[in-house]
Structure 1
Amino acid sequence: MSPDRRAPAGLPRLRYGPSRADAGQRLVALLIGVLFATLGGLVLAAAEGTLVELSGLLLLVPGAVALRGNVFGAMGSRLGTAAHAGTFRLNFRPDGVVGGNLLAAGALSLAFSMVLAVLAKGTATVFGLSRSMTLADFLVVSTLGGLVASAAVGLVTVGMVVGSARFGWDLDNVTAPLVTTIGDLLTVPALVVAAAAAGRGSASTALAVALVGGSLVVLVAAWRAPIEEVGRIVRQSVPVLGVAIVIDLLAGITIERRLDDLLGAEALLILLPAFLGGAGALGGILCSRLSTQFHLGLDDATPLPSRASGRDIRSVVLLAVPVFATGAAAAHVAAELTGQTGPAFGQILAVALLAGGMATACVVLIAYYSTMAAFRFGLDPDTYGIPLVTSSLDLVGAFALVLAMVAVGVA
């Protein structure tokens, strides 16, 4: 299929391949995303009392943040592939490309917020976080916070879809960074707000039961939906999102065990969402680009990247330095303006760049081989690639950040 075919009505003509416009779209989207994610980190740092009072809340953060990026980032990637393949139509009917994806994404986000809460409580018990929240509190915070955040991220995703049709944006370039990092911005405050409904005894328990019941009904309805596209997306997404949540919980354990260090250097706590979101966004961009190339027959998905894939890999690696450096600068400025504690800017920058270098190497390996494997096994790389990449990078990024903190001497 030619990459220069004319797009359907409502979407501008697209050319697929590296260009200055592509690079500009990626860089702008990534930097905007990093700044938004820094605001989410600022909320996290300001919620020190809540983090201490509701032990285990930080355990939810990587998984809850990643879940929004996994679900809606994969949705954006599917829509980007549809745009390049010439099958995109901007309509919101349940049987349309956009409407069907929205229904599936909403159901998956709500249901897996519930699953995340159950697994987070189990993980807290296994790893000896004896003072962690009750199961009902985990369910209230995760599911209620996830519901609020998903509605907001869904609106943002729809806005980007409309913008792509109106202004000629390439969804492969803008969806992954903006959905991932706007998810950081919106999910963290949503969890903190939802935490106000936790710890209220029987009232929290009743709310948890209602949320669980609603989540199960929505998941079963979506799984058995008469609309083929919705059911297919849900059935293919359930296994990979389950694996992704387990990986994210391991990242959460890594961060939770360093809570005292992070509270002692709150600038690094502000950096956390931007760092993890930036790494995930870089991987998401690469996944989206590779998936589209594989679908269009521009790359044979071989074990060694082709020249076309190599160009996309190099462009993502080059973007890593400004992304992580901007995250460090934004975290330092936010900490200074709000009176938060933290090391000197040079130390924050060293932590961000050192950890970012380790994370970027993993971005390339995980993004390419997970997308390639999904395609070669006949699975949809748009559905499988982004969740595996962003969640794996949450774990790798958490370890890399801790290692960099130790190496620089701030932990």
Structure 2
Amino acid sequence: MRLNVDLLVQYSVLLVVTPGLMDLRGDVYGAMGYRLTKALHLGLTQPRFRTRYNLVNIATAYVVSTVASIILCVIGYTLSLLSRLGSPDPLSLLFLALLSTIIVFIVLTPITTMAIIHLFNRGRDPSSFVAAIVTGIGDFATPFVLITTAYLHGAFPWVVKLLVVALLTSICIILAIYVSRSGGLKDLVENLYSSIIASTGSSMGGFILASRVSFISENPELLGVIPAFNAVIGASMGYLGSVLNIDIHIGYENH
């Protein structure tokens, strides 16, 4: 815990970016799970992993995650300049955010998708599972991966960081074109707008913490309590929203 606090004191901007990225996981993968659950209930796709619908759905999640992560980095770095918060250089901050985003994407995407399909095939409603698993895994993996890569980023030369950022951004552009041509642009734009708004709000909350970094240093237990509280609220509201949206689409609210 002490090492983590020292790192956050050195790079206070991580206190701004991390809450936004944690919120982003719930926004992106909760929406991804909701879209798949709705499509399964409406018969728009088959309950199998390798379907065209899942490919478009997963591509949408990647694009939203990448674009929103870049925007959070811009917001975080701008706030760090205005408030004189400790921050790595812009390229390193982008590298940290995008690398943590792709790692969490690789972990959460198959777990969320396959779990929903498995539960649906067994005749169970995946809605409650989606909110819990996305919030639980996402809120653990995001700060863990981000802080771990922050410790190690100095070992990577700037050329490697630039190549990683360029590669992940290029993949994002290619997948955005694919989603658009596949008819999924509306879902992408809606998810992107909502994710940016929600994650930016969380980052502004993180900015308040970053502005009181000396207090955090003296009370490091807050670093555990605040994410846990956020996870409980996120899981509850995510479940409520998912159930209501699915019920509206399949007409259960009229019964």
Q: TM-score range by the shorter chain?
A: 0.7 to 0.9
SS in 1 for 2:84: coil
Matches within 5 A, 1:20-31: none
User: For 1:131 and 1:258, how far apart are their aligned partners in 2?
Assistant: 12
Partner of 2:173: 220
Structure 2 counterpart of 1:160:
115
Partners of 2:184 and 2:26 lie apart in 1 by: 19
Percentage of identical aligned residues: 24
CA RMSD of aligned residues (A): 2.5
Give the deviation of 1:88 after TM superposition: 4.0
Write out aligned runs for 1:2-17 (5 A): none
TM-superposition CA deviations, 1:23-50 (whole Å, max 9, x none): xxxxxxxxxxxxxxxxxxxxx6762222
**8 A contact 1:80–1:171 mirrored in 2:** yes
1:59-115: CA deviations, max 9, x gaps?
11111111111111101111222233333412334522x232112212322333223
Q: Say yes or no: does 1:177 pair with 2:102.
A: no
- Counterpart of 2:246, as a letter, is T
Q: Residues 155 and 46 (structure 1 numbering): CA distance in 2 closer, same or farther, change over 3 Å? A: farther
- Distance (Å, rounded) in 2 between the aligned partners of 1:55 and 1:262: 10
Equivalences for 1:69-108 in 2 at 5 Å?
A: 69-93=26-50, 95-96=52-53, 98-108=54-64
Deviations along 1:163-214, one digit per CA (max 9) or x if unpaired, are 31344331211101220221011111110121134346x82x3334223322
Aligned residue number for residue 296 of structure 1: 250
Structure-2-length-normalised TM-score: 0.87
Check conservation: 1:140, 1:211, Cα contact below 8 A: yes
Q: Does 1:237 align with 2:191?
A: yes
Q: 1:92 to 1:155 in 2, by over 3 A?
A: closer
CA–CA distance in structure 1, aligned partners of residues 2 and 31 of structure 2:
29
Contact 2:56–2:184, Cα closer than 8 Å, also in 1 = yes
- 2:11 aligns to what? 54
What SS does the corresponding residue of 1:266 show, helix, strand or coil?
coil
Match of residue 103 from structure 2: 148
Distance 1:214 1:281 in 2: 32
The one of 202, 223, 226 aligned to 1:272:
226
Residue deviations 1:329-370, cap 9 Å, x none? xxxxxxxxxxxxxxxxxxxxxxxxxxxxxxxxxxxxxxxxxx
Q: CA deviation at 1:242?
A: 2.6
Task: Write the distance in 1 (CA, Å) between the matches of 2:230 and 2:68.
Answer: 20
CA distance in 2, matches of 1:90, 1:144: 30
Structure-2 residue corresponding to 1:385 = none
| Aligned match of 2:241 | 287
Q: Take 2:186 and 2:70, find their aligned partners in 1: how far apart are those partners?
A: 21
Q: Secondary structure of the residue that 1:246 maps to in structure 2?
A: helix
**Which structure's residues are more often helix, by fraction?**
2
Unaligned 5+ segments in structure 1 are 1-43, 301-307, 309-411
Q: Give me the whole-angstrom Cα distance separating, in 2, the residues matched to 1:46 and 1:176.
A: 31
CA distance in structure 1 between the aligned counterparts of 2:148 and 2:84, rounded to whole angstroms: 23
Counterpart amino acid of 2:131? A
Question: So what's the TM-score if we normalise by structure 1?
Answer: 0.56
Q: Which 4+ stretches in 1 moved above 6 angstroms?
A: none
Q: Answer 1 or 2: higher relative contact order, Cα 8 Å, separation at least 6.
A: 2
Matches within 5 A, 1:9-408: 47-93=4-50, 95-96=52-53, 98-126=54-82, 128-199=83-154, 203=157, 205-225=158-178, 227-299=181-253
Distance 2:244 2:5 in 1: 40
Distance in 2 of aligned mates of 1:75 and 1:131 = 34
Tell me the SS of whatever aligns to 1:131: coil
